[in-house]
Amino acid sequence: MHVLVTGGTGFVGSHLIEALRAAGDDVRALVRPGGDRALIERLGAEPFDGDLDAPAGMVDACRDCDVVYHAAARVDIDGDYADFHRTTVNGTFALARAAVAAGVRRFVYVGSCGVYHPRLLREGVIHEETPTLQPPKWFKYGRAKLAAEEAVRRTIGPRGEWCVIRLGYLYGPRNRAMRRYLYPLLAGGKMKYVGRGDNEMAMIHVRDAVSAIVAAGRVPAAAGRTLIAVGDERVTQRDYFSGLAAGLGLPPIRRHLPYRLAYLMAWGAEWLPFKLHGGAFQRAGIVLTGLPQRIDCRRTQAMLNWRPTHRFADGIREACEWYLREYPEHAPVVEPAARTA
């Protein structure tokens, strides 16, 4: 097949290109001005200059493609909602309209389980048929991602095939966001468990997520469906952050912050004239970290004939090994062995 991928230089997009090329697809990847064309070429895809913020030329990007995989989005949790809307929502509208004009057969939108309202997380298990409430105004990322899903349904729905696939909490190699958010907190001794740390997190290895995304573009029954891809293992907040600390050679996390106190502190921090921890200390971050994420994707597994295959212990070790190769300045210092007489 001939496919277009957006976000190809990012965490999910780069692995998606690899998987599509391994499946024999011809891949075209949208590259923003100044983007890493060399990476796209190394992955075996054809770079195509374009920018979702400037949609002229998107029809040419989509032309002759069977499937568009839209993985590009703003992934921060902090910032002005107008910026999220321009990039995530308006950019998706523009690409979806271009896909329709170019006659693309299927449009796959890479969504996020971050669209779920905190109330749903507290109430119990979430699955593909769970009604999706509008996220709170302060959760800008989730609101933008949900609005982008609706843009896909409204634009593609009457004229072609669409599929939304919501991903869980991603981990694995090439997650460069770790350098900006997690590593400074872990290395600086500022990381605390939110609550007791025993809440489940809907983790999924990036390669497992990508295999589900590829299937969403191929399986006929996936057309017109909103799917979910999360891992099978029960992974807690403690498992995740302690695994990162150990894998990066950093001290273990020993402190806890009660969930309600953390939420109130984050609410207050959002009103301060400066940002704590580079903007990471937000209510959205507290909710994503401290509330249980009990998400069941068995319907998606059956529909796509897909199952996650990566064990968390192996995947988190691989992620840390990649990180230390990519950023050797963060490698733990090995003390020389003591000399004996």
Residue 286 lies in a domain: no
pLDDT(90) > 60: yes
Q: Which of 108, 72, 92, 67 is nearest to 222 (CA)?
A: 108
pLDDT(258) > 90: yes
Q: In this predicted model, what pLDDT tens digit does every residue of 14-50 receive, in sequence order?
A: 999 999 999 999 999 999 888 899 999 999 999 999 9
Tokens representing 112 are 């996020």
Q: In this predicted model, what pLDDT tens digit does every residue of 297-306 receive, in sequence order?
A: 999 999 999 9
Q: In this predicted model, what pLDDT tens digit does every residue of 201-219 receive, in sequence order?
A: 999 999 999 999 999 999 9
pLDDT tier, 254 (very low <50, low <70, confident <90, very high otherwise): very high
Q: Which domain holds residue 52?
A: 2-176+202-232+294-310
Provide the 10 A C-beta neighbour count for residue 76.
17
Q: What is the pLDDT of residue 92?
A: 96
Q: In this predicted model, what pLDDT tens digit does every residue of 96-116 receive, in sequence order?
A: 999 999 999 999 999 999 999
pLDDT(184) > 50: yes
Q: For residues 1 and 79, which has the higher predicted lDDT (pLDDT)?
A: 1
Residue 255 lies in a domain: no
Backbone angles phi, psi at 181, to 5 degrees: -105, -65
Residue 335 lies in a domain: no
Residue 11 lies in a domain: yes
The mean pLDDT value of the chain amounts to 92
Q: What is the pLDDT of residue 231?
A: 97
Total domains, the chain: 1
Residue 213 lies in a domain: yes
CATH number reported for the structural domain that contains residue 18 in this entry: 3.40.50.720
Measured distance CA(33)–CA(341) in Å, rounded: 62
DSSP result, 95-146:
HHHHHHHHT-SEEEEEEEGGGS-HHHHHHS-B-TTS--PPPPTT-HHHHHHH
Residue 240 lies in a domain: no
pLDDT tier, 336 (very low <50, low <70, confident <90, very high otherwise): low
Q: What is the pLDDT of residue 79?
A: 78
Q: In this predicted model, what pLDDT tens digit does every residue of 228-253 receive, in sequence order?
A: 999 999 999 999 999 999 999 999 99
Q: What is the pLDDT of residue 32?
A: 87
Q: In this predicted model, what pLDDT tens digit does every residue of 111-134 receive, in sequence order?
A: 999 999 999 999 999 999 999 999
Residue 304 lies in a domain: yes
Bridging pattern class, strands 200-201 and 235-236: antiparallel
- In the 8-state DSSP scheme, what is residue 333? P
| pTM summary value | 0.93
pLDDT tier, 341 (very low <50, low <70, confident <90, very high otherwise): very low
Q: In this predicted model, what pLDDT tens digit does every residue of 139-151 receive, in sequence order?
A: 999 999 999 999 9
